[in-house]
């Protein structure tokens, strides 16, 4: 379980735990003979057999070359087992690039590009001392939230002792009675999205509460995609 620093409606805060209790059962793949399969990385193509390289080599004669031979297949290397791989960036002429700077492309709902900006490095902000996640008071009905956002990740917020049990149970009860989700924010001014880990994606976050007797579930829903209708005119 990881730690998260969160505040409630009364601006009282506590450091609690969060994680996921759901575990997806891993599929088991079998061969035609009934033996268990295994995953391996094998070489599919080389720099000389990519589509761009073949087109640059053969030009308009690429079709004839593919019919008469197998230029897209490196007979000596195809199928080699790969281990210890590292990710690199390459230039347009298939050379290893150094000193790479990444840009972020922002698009409008209609698919047109709005802007290009340098990619910014993000820092985790969910467990900062003295800067708890803020209970904003902005409630959105569950039915509306499910139509407005696509939630990509969900975590269960859990207590670590008796005091934090009461703290979280009260939050879950208020949300359950309102049948709504609560927007929570990060940062000293309470206007920043949540970043779960260093270098992670910024997410808009909502809390959902469920209560049954003395049991509760306080669920942290994360989204970075808002659903909007496409204009018809």
| Domains, in order of start, for the chain | 2-23+122-226 (2.40.290.10)
**Per-run averaged pLDDT (10 residues), the chain, 233 residues:** 91 92 78 87 90 89 92 92 91 85 87 88 90 94 93 94 94 96 94 92 95 95 86 67
pTM for the model stands at: 0.67
SS3 state of residue 176: helix
- The reported pLDDT for the residue numbered 21 is 65
In the chain, at which residue ranges do the beta strands (DSSP E only) sit? 2-7, 13-19, 103-107, 113-118, 134-141, 149-158, 180-185, 194-195, 202-212, 215-226
Structure tokens at 161: 């002792």
- Closest-CA residue to 167 (of 181, 177, 179, 157): 157
What are phi and psi for residue 52, nearest 5 degrees?
-65, -40
């Amino acid at each position: 379980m990881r730690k998260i620093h969160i505040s409630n409606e009364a601006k009282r805060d506590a450091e609690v735990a969060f994680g996921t209790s759901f575990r997806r059962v891993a599929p088991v793949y079998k061969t035609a003979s009934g033996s268990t399969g295994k995953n391996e990385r094998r070489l599919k193509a080389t720099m000389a057999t990519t589509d761009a390289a073949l087109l640059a080599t053969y030009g308009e004669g690429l079709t004839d070359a593919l019919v008469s031979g197998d230029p897209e297949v490196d007979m000596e290397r195809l199928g080699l087992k790969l281990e210890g791989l590292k990710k690199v960036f390459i230039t347009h002429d298939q050379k290893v690039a150094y000193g790479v700077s990444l840009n972020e492309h922002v698009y409008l709902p209609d698919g047109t590009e709005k802007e290009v900006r340098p990619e910014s490095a993000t820092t985790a902000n969910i467990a900062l001392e003295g800067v708890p996640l803020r209970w904003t008071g902005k409630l959105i009905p569950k039915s509306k939230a499910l139509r407005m956002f696509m939630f990509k990740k969900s975590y269960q917020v859990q207590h670590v002792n008796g005091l934090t049990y009461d703290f979280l149970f009260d939050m879950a009860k208020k949300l359950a009675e309102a049948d709504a989700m609560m927007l929570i924010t990060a940062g000293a001014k309470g206007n920043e999205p949540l970043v779960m880990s260093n270098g992670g994606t910024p997410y808009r976050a909502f809390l959902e509460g469920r209560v049954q007797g003395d049991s509760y579930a306080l669920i942290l829903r994360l989204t970075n995609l808002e659903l909007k209708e496409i204009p018809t005119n």
